[in-house]
Every structure is written in C-alpha cells, then in structure tokens.
Amino acid sequence: MDFGFILSSAAGELFSPTTAAYALATLGLAVHFGYTGLLNFGQAGFMAVGAYGFAISTLTFHVPFFVGLLIAVVCSAIFALLLGIPTLRLRADYLAIVTIAAAEIVRYIVTTNQLTSVTGSANGLAAFEGDFYAMNPFPPGTYIGMNNRDFFIRVVAWIVVAVFCLLVWLLMRSPWGRVLKGIREDENAVRSLGKNVYAYKMQSLIIGGVLGALAGMIFTLPRGAVQPANYGTELTFFLYTCLLLGGLGTVLGPVVGAMIFWVVLSLTQGILYGLIESGTITWLNTVQAGQLRYILVGVALMLLMIFRPQGVLGNKKELAFA
Amino acid sequence: MRSTTSGLSHRRRGRLLRAVGAVAAAVAALLLVIAPASGAATPSPTPSPSATQFTNSISGFLRGDDRAPIPGVTITATNGDFTGTAKSGANGAWTIGVPTQGTYEVKLDESTLPQGIKLAEGQDNPRKVTFSQTSNLSVIFAFGKGIVVAEQNFGQNLLNRLVAGLSFGLLLALASVGLSLIFGTTGLTNFAHGEMVTLGAVLVFAFNGMHLPFWLAILLAVVGGGLFGYVQDAGLWKPLRRRGTGLVPMMIVSIGLALAVRYIIQFYFGGATQQLPFAQSAEILIGPVSISPNNLLSLLVSAIVIAALGVVLLKTRLGKATRAVADNPALAAASGIDVDFVIRIVWVVGGMLAALGGILWAYYRPGVTFDMGSQILLLIFASVTLGGLGTVWGALVGSIIVGIFVELTTVFGLAADLKYVGALFIMIVVLLFRPQGILGRRERVG
C-alpha cells in the first residue's frame, strides 16, 4: 500500500475546487439554517439553478462570462423568492419538504427529454467554460504540481470562498445579522419588536441561495460539464454533514467541515482500495468500498447530530434548534 | 426553550451509542441473508461492475396476432458506439442491457422472423426510442395484418390511467398512512421511510432467492419490515425522545439513517434492477378497462389492508389509544394510556405497511432497486402534506389524489419523465392556499 500516494491525494482534496464548492454551498446553508433557523433541504436545487443558469445562458444565448454569471445569480434569487412565498410563514418542516420537492422538480426538468436541445437531458451540457479559462492570467507551466488551468480554478474558487466568508462574517455582526439570530432564537420576540420577520427570512433565503448558485458554478467549471445526476437530494444531505461537522452558526465551520468531509472520504477510499489490492480484505470489492464510505457518511451524520450537534467549531449556545 | 444535554450521563450516552450501532447492525444482519440469495436468484451471480451487466434495459415480448410467442428473433439496440443484441426466448421475451438511459435505435432483424410472420403495417423498423428515470423500457412490435396500430381512444386511455392511478395511489397510501401515523404520534418527519419501503421489496427478492414459497417470502418480508420498525424505535427513536431531542435534530438524524440504510442495501443488493417472480404479465380486459393482473391485485390488496387498518383505528381500544396519542400525547398519558407502547406499535405497523407498499411498488414499476423507496419518498411526503400532516384519512385521500394525478398528467400531454413534477408542484400550490392540507386542522400548521 502506497501511503505517500494516499496521503498526498487526501491532501490534494483540501484545496480542490469541489471542496471549495461544497464549502460555499455549506456557507449558504449556514446562513439559512445556522443563523436564521430555516431548514432548507433544497440547496442542491440552488446549485443546479446556478450551474444550469450559467451553462444555458452561455451555450444557448452566447452571452459573455460575467453576464452568464449574473443570469445564474438572478435565477437563483428568483428561485428563492418562489420557494419563500408559500413556505416562510409555515412551520420549519413545511419549508424542508417544499425545498426538497422544489430541488427535485428542478432536477426532473433539466433531465426531461422534452428539453434536450436546451438542457441536454440526462447527458447534461458541456463546453461552456471557454470564456472562463480565456481569462486565465497564469501562463502555461507547472504551479505546485498543477497545470495552469487547475491552478487558476483553485485560486478563483478559494478567493470567492474567502470573500464570501468575510461578507457573511460582516453581515452576521451587523444589526441585520443580529435580527436573523433573534429570529432563530425566538421568532415571536423579534416580531414583537416591530421587525418584519417574513422579509428578513426571505433576504436570508435569497443570500444563502445565491451562495449555493455560485457554488454550483464552481462545482461545474473544473469538470467542464454539468449533469443532472450530480444534483440529487444526496448532495444536500452531504452538505448538511459538512455543516454539522464544521459547526452550524459559524463562518469558518462550513469551510472546515467541507475540508474534513473530502479528506476523510479520500483517505477511506485510498486505504480501502489499498487493502483490497494487497489482498488484506477479501470480503469487499472496490464498488462496495465506495458504498461503504457513504454508509459511513450516513452514520457520521446521525452520530454528529446526536452527540456533537455544534460540530468542530460551533458553540452549543448557538444551535438553531431547541 | 432549549433542553440541556450537558446533564447527560456517560452511561446514557453509551447506551445511545450502542443503540445506534444496534440499528445499523440489525439492518446489516437483515440484509446479510441477501448476499447468497441474490446469487441464487439471478442467472449471473451478484451484480458486479463488469462491462456486460447494465442497470438499464430495453425489453419486450414478441407475440403474433394469434398471441403465440415468436422465439429466435434477433433485435439490436444502438446508441452512438454502443450496440446491444438479444434473441427472443421461447416465450417471446427479449432484453437488451444498455449502459445509460437515453435515445436508442431499436431494430428487429426481419430476416430472422419465422415464415409467414411479418411486422404489421405502419410499424417503424428500425425505430428510435427514448427513456429516462425508469431503468426499463418496453418496446412493442406488432405482427400480422390483423393488428391495426391506431391511436388509442382518448376516453379509453383516460379510464385505463385512472384505474392505474388508483392502484398507484393506494400503494402510496400504504406507505404514507404509516408515515402519517408516525408523524402524528411522535412529530417526526421520517426521511428514512423510503428505505423502509425498499426493504420490503428487497427482502421478498432475498427470501425468494432462498427458494422459499412465494407467499412465505412475502409474509416474511412484511414481518421483516415490522421488525425494522421495532428495532428503529427501540434502538434509536425512543432513546432520543427520552433525551428530549428536538424535532429538527431528529429529522436530520433520520436523514443520516436513510443514507446509511440506503447504502447498506446497495452494499448487499448491488446497483442493478432485479425482478420479482411473476413481474411480467399481459394486460387483461375487465369491462371497458384494460389492466394488468398485478395492478389489479395490488389495488385490491392495498384497499383491503387500508380498510382493515381503518376498522382497527376506529373500533378497537388500541386504535382509539393511537388516535388519542396523536391528538395530545400528554393528555393521553394522563388518561392512563401507555404512550411509549402505542408509539412502538405505530412503528411496527408503519414498518409493515411500508414493506407491503414496497412489494407492490416493485410490481408497479416494475423492478427492485436499492433506491426505489427514495424515488417515491417525495411523493409520499406530497401525499401526506396534501392530505394534512398527521391525519390518517388525509394521508389516504392525499395518496389517491397524487397517484391519480401522476398517471393522468401523461394523458393530458405531459411527458412521462415529468409525471412526478406535477404531483410535487400541486403540493406546493396547495400549501399556498390551504397550508393545513385537505383534511388537516389549522392548529397543526403552527
């Protein structure tokens, strides 16, 4: 078993664009659930809206990169509005069911064969990332063991994550952020102070959703392809695992959580595959090893929620639930 | 407002940890029996990631206009550089495994047809077929000159879909009544209910693979579903209730459980679609309605089971106790009802109903997969929300509406791969105007 390779590929996951995308989407969830107490189970839908909004506007309408980015962000804001109007006045579990249903509706719509010319149905869309890489300021060469494309997407992804972490941090220590936390603790108390709780919740839903959409773009850009199968309900559940790992009501928690999630997944895969190849484990094949990792994710989510709901960085007093 | 968990003793902490482990172990043990079973039941042993075995398939029956099967006919399916070939068997059946869902060109080699049999007029050969979201696609070739392939009469089609929808709705009701009872008595929105549905079908497949009689396999699977409900409540939910864990954390725990159980099932069962015995059947005509015997049987079974459940809930002491707990647990406990016992019974019954629903769902689709339950989980939620969270009759009404709606949307021009979208959309619209659902009471919305 090549421990050097296993460790280096696990370390590579620390700063991979996928980890950045998970961190950003989880940050959106932290705004929703950690700070406002909104139980959004449709973050995968927001990511899909972002990724498809960008890919479709680039491929079908041939708009420049930043216009496509703007369209994706606007689409996700509209999606948040549509979700929020019927559900934000209702109890938390209604929002959960409606958001998960809406995310699945998005996935069904981009999968249907009726819209193959626009969405590419089950095969998805590809070759929309040209404009992005055309902006690459790094000349071809090797940067810390990566080519200039891989290096560029990592730099951009983590700058975006850092900027939004800062932004969320500033927002949450502003008076606006304190109202959000107040809503999380006691909605009626905040309402009795004359605040429009509905409007605050809607703003929170939109901000977190836009973060999800940007994460969806970061997720698809390095792959150069967007496929509906990536945006199932499991994605949202993995994001919740990251959120609970890192800490609900924190800014850096989502980043730490996403890093731990991917490093652990990579480590377990490397070790299990190594043991199988060396013949130490014979009761498992490599496909089953992949499934074993997701069993661990599920069990980890349960144990975290039961025994350490505040995660690595969180504060037990700042939990979004009683 | 917040319950403190700091006072939690290490002893209890350990007990809960053991409990979580026990649930996982129970599922694993229940499924262990499948590992040898799946090998026995399929011609090619346990699904392996070899290139020749695919999770998706295109299949059909070749029958002449005298309904006699046509064996030995070669059929090919092509998509890009993939080509799959099959020869129809002695019963006229053919299946081509394909790597991905999508559009395929299916061609019947007319030179391999027996003498005197020809494709009917107007039958495209080769033809393009498209599928997504189902793992199996049926392609029908009509033979002989006696068959006219006309557009199906609209009224006839409507009636057929209506009955199919009723059948689907009632099987959904089996699962959603259980979910609704659990929600009503414990307040938990159980995301692992889809896995309870899957378990029923997977267990029938496993027991059938062990060459048990078919009726015994079904009986054992339903008992297994009840057992899973029992273990879940005893090992996980009751300790969590004791701790005073909030409803939102419990919901997230149920998501973790759903993920774990889904992948445990996949671990043993594999990613392929398997068929239960008697899954293929020709449609029969009853009056003006054309329906497959399986759907008819499923309709009758679920109607009888739900009626029996209704009688139990309305007439027996246990049923009254259950409704009392659903209405107000504290008051029920004060009136001398053993709330924990009632909740335990509800979990067992919910597990059995979900398992039965899963078996019927395996025949309705048709096929058993590891994620078949999570595919209809949202439809179950939609039914329960539509009818009113926590009300049993609401869940029944909601399920029938969702089932019929899903089937009817295809009659009115919605593409088949979008049929679930309509039901989910209706749920969101209903929440806009009547958040308590059709039969729910306003106070539950909160």
Pairwise CB contact (< 8 Å): A307 & B17: yes
Q: What percent of chain B has pLDDT over 70?
A: 82
Q: What percent of chain A has pLDDT over 70?
A: 99
Return the pLDDT at B51: 36
Q: Of A93, A108, A240, which has the smallest distance from its Cβ to B255's Cβ?
A: A240
Identify the DSSP state of A114: G
What does residue A308 show for φ and ψ, rounded to 5 degrees? -140, 65
Distance CA B393, CA B389 (A): 10
Contact B116, B37 (CB under 8 A): no
The answer to whether residue A125 scores a pLDDT higher than 60 is: yes
How many Å is the Cα radius of gyration of chain A? Answer: 20
Nearest to B196 by CA among B30, B82, B323: B30
State the sign of the Cα–Cα–Cα–Cα dihedral B209, B212, B217, B220.
negative
Nearest to B364 by CA among B390, B331, B393, B403: B403
Chain B closest-CA separation from residue A235 CA (Å): 11
Chain A closest-CA separation from residue B17 CA (Å): 8
Span B24-47, average pLDDT: 46
Return the pLDDT at B39: 37
Distance CA B401, CA B165 (A): 9
Chains A and B form CB pairs within 8 A to the count of 166
Residues of B in contact with A114 (CB under 8 A): 415, 417-418
Distance CA B358, CA B192 (A): 13
The answer to whether residue B55 scores a pLDDT higher than 80 is: no
pLDDT classification of B12: cutoffs 50, 70, 90? low
The answer to whether residue B99 scores a pLDDT higher than 80 is: no
Residues of A in contact with B256 (CB under 8 A): 237, 241, 298-305
- Supply the mean pLDDT for chain B: 81
Distance CA B350, CA B321 (A): 16
Return the pLDDT at A114: 85
Instruction: Identify the residue with better confidence: B134 or B337.
Output: B337
Tens of pLDDT, residue by residue over B228-256, are: 999 999 999 999 999 988 888 999 999 99
Distances (CA, A) of B208 to B35, B364, B368: 13, 18, 13
The answer to whether residue A210 scores a pLDDT higher than 50 is: yes
Q: Pick the residue from chain A with its C-alpha nearest to B421.
A: A105
Chain A closest-CA separation from residue B392 CA (Å): 18
Identify the DSSP state of B135: S
Residues of A in contact with B253 (CB under 8 A): 301-302, 305-306
Pairwise CB contact (< 8 Å): A233 & B374: yes
State the sign of the Cα–Cα–Cα–Cα dihedral B107, B109, B114, B116.
positive
pTM of the model: 0.81
- Supply the mean pLDDT for chain A: 91
Contact A181, A188 (CB under 8 A): no
The answer to whether residue B52 scores a pLDDT higher than 60 is: no
Identify the DSSP state of B151: P
Instruction: Identify the residue with better confidence: A183 or B392.
Output: A183
**Domains of chain B, first to last:** 56-138 (2.60.40.10), 154-433 (1.10.3470)
Pairwise CB contact (< 8 Å): B248 & A122: no
Return the pLDDT at B111: 76
Identify the DSSP state of B2: P
Pairwise CB contact (< 8 Å): B247 & A93: yes
- What DSSP letter does each residue of B84-124 carry, written as one string? EEEE--TTSEEEEEESSSEEEEEEE-GGGSPTT--BPTT--
Pairwise CB contact (< 8 Å): A111 & B251: no
Tens of pLDDT, residue by residue over B378-390, are: 999 999 988 887 7
Return the pLDDT at A302: 94
**What contacts A151, CB < 8 A, 6 or more positions away?**
A138, A143, A144
Span A274-296, average pLDDT: 86
Return the pLDDT at B311: 93
Q: Pick the residue from chain B with its C-alpha nearest to A92.
A: B248
Residues of B in contact with A85 (CB under 8 A): 432
Distance CA A264, CA A262 (A): 5
Residues of B in contact with A113 (CB under 8 A): 103, 130, 132, 415, 417
Distance CA A36, CA B249 (A): 15
The answer to whether residue B53 scores a pLDDT higher than 70 is: no
Span B395-407, average pLDDT: 93
Q: Rounded to 10 degrees, what is the CA torsion of A62, A65, A66, A69?
A: 90
Q: Of A114, A303, A321, which has the smallest distance from its Cβ to B20's Cβ?
A: A303
**3-state class of A138 per DSSP?**
coil
pLDDT classification of B4: cutoffs 50, 70, 90? very low
Range picked from A79-83, B113-117, B277-281 for highest mean pLDDT: A79-83
Tokens of B94: 């053919």
The answer to whether residue B33 scores a pLDDT higher than 70 is: no
Tens of pLDDT, residue by residue over A162-191, are: 999 999 999 999 999 999 999 998 889 999
Chain A closest-CA separation from residue B209 CA (Å): 21
Tens of pLDDT, residue by residue over B171-228, are: 999 999 999 999 989 989 999 999 999 999 999 999 999 999 999 999 999 999 999 9
**What contacts A5, CB < 8 A, 6 or more positions away?**
A270
Pairwise CB contact (< 8 Å): B248 & A186: no
Contact B439, B393 (CB under 8 A): yes
Distance CA A152, CA B324 (A): 63
- Tokens 């959703």 identify what position? A209
Tens of pLDDT, residue by residue over A4-42, are: 888 988 888 899 999 999 999 999 999 999 999 999 999
Contact B130, A113 (CB under 8 A): yes
Distance CA B96, CA B138 (A): 11
State the sign of the Cα–Cα–Cα–Cα dihedral B427, B273, A296, A107.
negative
Pairwise CB contact (< 8 Å): A301 & B253: yes
Pairwise CB contact (< 8 Å): B132 & A113: yes
Q: Of A90, A286, A295, which has the smallest distance from its Cβ to B267's Cβ?
A: A295
Tens of pLDDT, residue by residue over B308-328, are: 999 999 999 999 999 899 888
Residues of B in contact with A316 (CB under 8 A): 6
Peptide bond into A228 cis (omega under 30): no
Span B62-74, average pLDDT: 75
Return the pLDDT at B246: 87
Q: Pick the residue from chain B with its C-alpha nearest to A104.
A: B421
Nearest to A198 by CA among A31, A36, A73, A321: A36
Contact B362, B295 (CB under 8 A): no
